[in-house]
Amino acid sequence: SFNPFPPHQESYLSLANSLISSQSDLQNQSRLMEAFSLLTPPSLPLDSKRTSKITFRKNLEQFLPFVKATIWRHIPFCRMYAFYFIVRLVIM
């Protein structure tokens, strides 16, 4: 069966690492790493199964307020928009 997630997963990981490394403040880097580990823990397969999508969406609901409250204003808009676009690809 067709699985659209592996290419997007690679883009997602690349962008997440880019966002983390773009933070000059080590505390913000740490917070962002923690946020991404909550969003996509190793136990969560990014596949097209309904249960994976539901879990990802629940994690996303926790991730967004965390990021917004701590470092949102420090991330360049274009990078956050690109991240949002990839997240939409993963959960659709």
Q: Is 0.75 surpassed by the pTM of this model?
A: no
Provide the token pair at 45: 């397969």
pLDDT for the residue numbered 42: 82
Amino acid 64: pLDDT: 80
Ranges of residues in the chain whose predicted pLDDT is under 70? 1-8, 70-92
| pLDDT of amino acid 22 | 81
Q: Provide the residue type at 45 as one letter.
A: P
User: What is the pLDDT at residue 4?
Assistant: 43
- Do 35 and 63 contact (CB within 8 A), yes or no? yes
Burial class (CB in 10 A: 0-12, 13-18, 19+), 14: exposed
